[in-house]
Amino acid sequence: MGQYGIGQPVRRKEDVRLLTGKGRYTDDIHFDGQLWAAFFRSPHAHAKIKSIDSAAALSVAGVRHVFTGEDMRKGGMKPLVADINFTDRKGNKMYKPVRHILPSDRACYVGEPLVMVLADSAEAARAGAELIEIDFETLPNITSTAKAAEPDAYVLHPEHGSNIAVHWENSAPDEVDALIAQAPHKVKIHLVNNRLIVAPMEPRCAVATYDAKEDVITLYSPTQGVRPAQAGFAGLLGIDKKKLRVISLDVGGGFGIRSKRYPETAAVAWAAKHINQPVKWRGDRSETFVSDHHGRDQVNDAVMGLDKNGRVIALRLETIVNVGAYSGDNGPRLPIDGGGRIIPCGYDIEKFYFSVKPVYTNTVPTDTYRGAGRPEANYIMERLMDAAAEECGLTRDEIRRRNLIPLSKMPYRTQMNFVYDSGDFIGTMDKTLELADWKGFASRRKETEKRGKLRGIGLASFVEQAGGRPTEEMRVKFDENGKATVFSGTFSHGQGHETVYAQMVNDYLGVPFDQIDFVQGDTDTTPPGGVGTFGSRSSMMGGVAIKRSCGQIIMKGKKIAAHLLQADPAAVTFENGLFRVGVSSISIQDVARAASDPAKLPEGVTPGLDESNLFEREPDLNNFPNGCHICEVEVDPELGTIEIVKYTALDDCGVVLNPLIVHGQVYGGVAQGIGQALTEDAIYDAESGQLLAGSFMDYGMPRAHHLSMIEAHFTDDQPCKTNDLGVKGAGEAGACGAPPAFVSAVCDALTPYGVKHIDMPLTPERVWTAIQQAKAHKAA
Amino acid sequence: MNISLTINGEKITRDIATNLLLADFLRDNLRLTGTHVGCDTTQCGCCIIHLNNKAVKSCTMLAVQADGAQITTIEGLAGANGALHPVQEAFREHHGLQCGFCTPGMVMMGADIVRRLPGADEATIRHQLEGNICRCTGYQGIVEAIMDASSQAKGI
Ligand code: FES
Ligand code: FES
């Protein structure tokens, strides 16, 4: 183990580079002779394109080319059809509209890219784009999630006849409905899960070059894994994967939206080849607001029946998810078999009906965003439990204690057919109550009230599922000097893989921490089975593949060591970087050196100490991070402002490889959850279909002063039982726990007014209005 | 227009367009790419540098306005011998960065806070960071780092 081993709070290898301005992000690179791209974007939510005139744009000094989607289609660009299929209970298939890269017939949301202009400078390209003339015939539009699902709603894609892509159900509702009808207690909730702008701090960027001799396009762009991007864009470009090299340099945050098949990126790659010249597009922030996928955007209606002891009898849940103008590769999946498949989360509910309607609207497509369906699912369950506590006359912790899956039922098969391998949900909640001094709240409330404010406390018990795609490949290679390099299939965009994987190699192979290099993000060197980093999967997938690669290295090393020490391979042991037989030993570095010399190898052993492992898990063997978060707030009833005064988190992420880094994941996830619940809202104007929150001026990114210090703890007795490392995902739990804990706390603070629920975000205006309405209601 | 200025201790003279932003001048013309651009509305602070010893958003001024100025960018903050500035050191110690994109601006702002307000408390630091956005860290490590460096500066 040692100072740099697994479980240590090792300071990151990445940091000195990033702290001294030596990070290298896509926008930092330029190529000789590069042209700059700019896009003309739809100013309308919905409009027919009657004609496109590029003459004025082409007359701008420095503008070299103007390309429409039609040009691209003629040049081999394929339409984008989502890689996703669902059927309703009658077997009808989900409707998927065809998305053209830069459509030339119809614009379906504000900001949709329609024409690309290439020029010698970024300014000239932008000036050219401003002069593109399109004759539009505006059409009616629909942006509202709830309204889009109504039978008389304006229909965006008329060939389908409805905005509902598919009505997916887990079963027939009849049995659940009958049980709820007879239940002694019923609760009913209606929730809006607000649309969010993902906004990683590095705006999207794409640079492409073309090698005509080899017929290879090289695309530089921030992704969360170069292999999926390579496959996705090669498909759109209609070329073989081998003819597209994808490179991701340092990436300024991802949160789910990076590896998507974006039209601008495809257009840049297409143009570089088409004109045989490097092309660069630097998205500015306002552009990324309308071109990066958005997150969340659901409306949920749930009814739950409980017996007289407060045990849930049955649950009926209906979700509408706004997937935007076209289906992304994940949008409709999120509530169904994406993250939302976790529902009903940590609760032992036997009878459960679940319906999902993904709807098309004139908005930016939604897709994966930190948690990708799990925050929404946990929010529903936690708001239901708070409502049930009140209905049944139980405390909020007691209603949960009566319904959470007890440790004795582990492993537990869920409604949606996952098997929870571990997790002490009740024990974790009880410990968190202690850590947060739940019992002492009453006196803290009194103290706050003396100052004319209200104080509330809220808790959320959550479960999520981590792992994403079931394969990942990693490679560990020694060079002839005994230095090790990890070639990573996963892709770190802030998670500190360079550090954590080096801790593992240090631990398993005894190689000094500073003698371990790290390579990621280039399809020329990334292992062929590499996938990437999303769905909190890197430790459980990449980590296991590293461990197994190291195991393979030891196996091979033993053979070589035995040969060098003239011993029986079976007698060789390996520990702390040394192969031993009796009193003789040889270091792994010396074995690596010998391995590069065929003359020193036993018969049948190939040169080199270089092992890859393609780890494949059973597709449903995800892991199930869980925990309990408790939030305490003060509300100023005169202003409706909220201050977080205490936040306590107890997370079960199984075995923790580096507590410093995992704590960072918790803090970041909580901040994004608080952002959703307190400040963030991507609002469309119902009439014009314009995105009203179009920049950081109008969109409430959480800032340092919105948050307080988070007191984060880990459980230490629930390792995951289904992977070699015992790890569970850690990246998304915070975003699951924070919104329900926070909303619960604010509603608790507003108990004197009888406010039961406020939809997110809980802006001062919404809180103040809720208080005023409650007062007026009382007075009446 | 011709401008002369000192950047990270080096005298530089360049003939530039009058509408060129200082951030773009640093990044595109001088290839000092440590200074980042994260927005177009002066909100994120990724672009913060020190101009005549004060933190400023380089996206919000023209390069020509910096004529004659002394500028330090993130590349020039560490000591000549490569020793990290105490704020850089504290960011590393407290895990004040994840993806690193907001980091140059945060560190430059942090160094400015530490210089102006040695011994600043948590609330003050959070308030001072109003103009810096980080999407990754929840600000916890950043605030801890600046508090630590700030108390060291006061000798607490
Ligand atoms: S780039 Fe200067 S404030 Fe955002
Ligand atoms: S570290 Fe990624 S935005 Fe701050």
Complex ipTM, two decimals?
0.98
Residue A113: is its pLDDT beyond 80? yes
Q: Three-state SS across chain B?
A: CEEEEEECCEEEEEECCCCCEHHHHHHHHCCCCCCCCCCCCCCCCCCEEEECCEEEEHHHCEHHHHCCCEEECHHHCCCCCCCCCHHHHHHHHCCCCCCCCCHHHHHHHHHHHHHHCCCCCHHHHHHHHHHCCCCCCCCHHHHHHHHHHHHHHHCC
Q: Which protein residue's CA is at the shortest distance from atom 3 of ligand 2? A: B134
Q: Is B124 on the interface with A (CB under 8 A)?
A: no
Q: Which residues are CB-neighbours of A521 under 8 A, at least 6 positions away?
A: A223, A226, A247, A248, A249, A251, A491
Q: Which residues are CB-neighbours of A575 under 8 A, at least 6 positions away?
A: A510
Residue spans per domain, chain A: 15-21+471-616, 31-141+203-253+258-291, 294-467+635-779
Residue spans per domain, chain B: 2-75, 86-154
Residue A163: is its pLDDT beyond 90? yes
Question: Hey, are the CB atoms on B122 and A709 less than 8 Å from each other?
Answer: yes
Centre of ligand 1 from the C-alpha of residue B56, in Å: 10
Distance CA B107, CA B97 (A): 10
Identify the H or E element spanning A446: helix A441-450
- Decide whether A15-21+471-616 matches A294-467+635-779 in CATH topology: yes
The CATH number for A15-21+471-616, chosen from 3.30.470.20, 3.10.560.10, 3.30.365.10, 1.10.10.10, is 3.30.365.10
Selected residues 13-72 of chain B with any CB under 8 Å from a CB in chain A: 27-28, 31-41, 43-44, 46
Residue B28 tokens, joined: 């595109």
Provide, as residue numbers in chain A, all residues whose Cβ is less than 8 Å from the Cβ of B141: 664, 667
Q: Is A15 on the interface with B (CB under 8 A)?
A: yes
Q: Which residues are CB-neighbours of A333 under 8 A, at least 6 positions away?
A: A84, A86, A373
Return the SS3 of A395. Answer: coil
> Can you list the alpha helix ranges (DSSP code H) found in A465-533?
497-509
Q: pLDDT digits over A296-331, tens only?
A: 999 999 999 999 999 999 999 999 999 999 999 999
Centre of ligand 2 from the C-alpha of residue A280, in Å: 24
Question: Does residue B46 line the site of ligand 1, with CB under 6 A?
Answer: yes
At residue A395, the pLDDT reads: 98
At residue A2, the pLDDT reads: 83
Homologous superfamily in CATH for domain B2-75: Beta-grasp domain (3.10.20.30)
- The dihedrals phi and psi of B3, each to the nearest 5 degrees, come to -125, 150
* Mean of the per-residue pLDDT values of chain A: 96
Return the SS3 of A399. Answer: helix
Within 10 A of A301 (CB to CB), how many other CB atoms are there?
16
Q: Three-state SS across A161-200?
A: CCCECCCEECCCCHHHHHHHHHCCEEEEEEEEEEEEECCC
Question: Hey, are the CB atoms on B135 and A664 less than 8 Å from each other?
Answer: no
Residue of A nearest to B87 (CA): A19
At residue A751, the pLDDT reads: 96
Distance CA A439, CA A433 (A): 8
**CA-based nearest distance B39→chain A, Å:** 5
Question: Hey, are the CB atoms on A19 and B91 less than 8 Å from each other?
Answer: yes
| CA count, 13 A, side-chain hemisphere, A684 | 27
Question: Does residue B130 line the site of ligand 1, with CB under 6 A?
Answer: no
At residue A734, the pLDDT reads: 95
At residue A613, the pLDDT reads: 97
Q: pLDDT digits over A81-100, tens only?
A: 999 999 999 999 999 999 99
Instruction: Give A154's DSSP letter.
Output: P
At residue A391, the pLDDT reads: 98
Residue A728 tokens, joined: 């569970």
Residue A454 tokens, joined: 């209200």
**CA-based nearest distance B13→chain A, Å:** 22
Provide, as residue numbers in chain B, all residues whose Cβ is less than 8 Å from the Cβ of A734: 138
The tens place of each residue's pLDDT in chain B, 156 residues long, gives: 999 999 999 999 999 999 999 999 999 999 999 999 999 999 999 999 999 999 999 999 999 999 999 999 999 999 888 899 999 999 999 999 999 999 999 999 999 999 999 999 999 999 999 999 999 999 999 999 999 999 998 876
Return the SS3 of A516. Answer: strand
Residue A340: is its pLDDT beyond 90? no
Q: Which residues are CB-neighbours of A772 under 8 A, at least 6 positions away?
A: none
Q: Which residues are CB-neighbours of A108 under 8 A, at least 6 positions away?
A: A42, A45, A46, A156, A325, A326, A362
Distance CA A148, CA A141 (A): 10
**Ligand 1 pocket: which of B24, B56, B59 to mutate (most atoms <8 Å of CB)?**
B59
- Which atom of ligand 1 is nearest the CA belonging to B36? 1
Q: pLDDT digits over A412-449, tens only?
A: 999 899 999 999 999 999 999 999 999 999 999 999 99
Q: pLDDT digits over A457-466, tens only?
A: 999 999 999 9
Q: Is B86-154 a CATH 3.40.50.620 domain?
A: no
CA distances from A365 to A110, A338, A534, A685, A688 (A): 11, 16, 19, 16, 18
Place of tokens 């391995």: A595
Question: Hey, are the CB atoms on B98 and A252 less than 8 Å from each other?
Answer: no
Whether A326 and A157 have beta carbons less than 8 Å apart is answered as: no
Whether A720 and A423 have beta carbons less than 8 Å apart is answered as: no
Provide, as residue numbers in chain B, all residues whose Cβ is less than 8 Å from the Cβ of A704: 125-127, 129-130, 132, 139, 142-143
* Cα dihedral value A141, A147, A148, A152, nearest 10: -90
Question: Hey, are the CB atoms on B74 and A494 less than 8 Å from each other?
Answer: no
At residue B155, the pLDDT reads: 78
The CATH number for A294-467+635-779, chosen from 1.20.810.10, 3.30.365.10, 1.10.940.10, 3.30.9.10, is 3.30.365.10
Residue of B nearest to A286 (CA): B40
Closest CA to A671 of A98, A253, A358, A361: A253
Q: pLDDT digits over A346-374, tens only?
A: 999 999 999 999 999 999 999 999 999 99
pTM of the model: 0.97
**CA-based nearest distance B103→chain A, Å:** 7
CA angle A331, A679, A441 (to 5 degrees): 110
Question: Would you list the DSSP string of A632-697?
Answer: EEEEETTTTEEEEEEEEEEEE-BS-S-HHHHHHHHHHHHHHHHIIIII---PBPTTT--BS--STT
Return the SS3 of A152. Answer: coil
Residue A1: is its pLDDT beyond 80? no
Whether A62 and A121 have beta carbons less than 8 Å apart is answered as: yes
Q: Which numbered ligand comes closest to the C-alpha of B22?
A: 1
B141 closest CB neighbour out of A27, A664, A701: A664
The percent of residues above 70 in pLDDT, for chain A, comes to: 100
Q: Which residues are CB-neighbours of A42 under 8 A, at least 6 positions away?
A: A107, A108, A109, A110, A111, A112, A114
B34 closest CB neighbour out of A22, A253, A285: A22
Distance CA A50, CA A45 (A): 16
B74 closest CB neighbour out of A20, A24, A251: A20
Q: What is the per-residue burial (b if ≥16 Cβ within 10 Å, else e) of A203-215? A: bbbbbbbbeeeee
- Which atom of ligand 1 is nearest the CA belonging to B48? 2
Centre of ligand 1 from the C-alpha of residue B43, in Å: 6
Whether A130 and A59 have beta carbons less than 8 Å apart is answered as: no
Closest CA to B101 of A435, A415, A545, A253: A253
Q: Which CATH architecture has domain A31-141+203-253+258-291?
A: Alpha-Beta Complex (3.90)
Selected residues 476-515 of chain A with any CB under 8 Å from a CB in chain B: 493-496
Centre of ligand 2 from the C-alpha of residue A592, in Å: 38
| Chain centre distance of CA A492 | 13
Identify the H or E element spanning A232: helix A226-237
Q: pLDDT digits over A372-403, tens only?
A: 999 999 999 999 999 999 999 999 999 999 99
Q: Which residues are CB-neighbours of A464 under 8 A, at least 6 positions away?
A: A339, A342, A371, A374, A378, A536, A624, A625, A626, A729, A732, A733, A736
Amino acid in position A248: S
- The dihedrals phi and psi of A224, each to the nearest 5 degrees, come to -115, 20
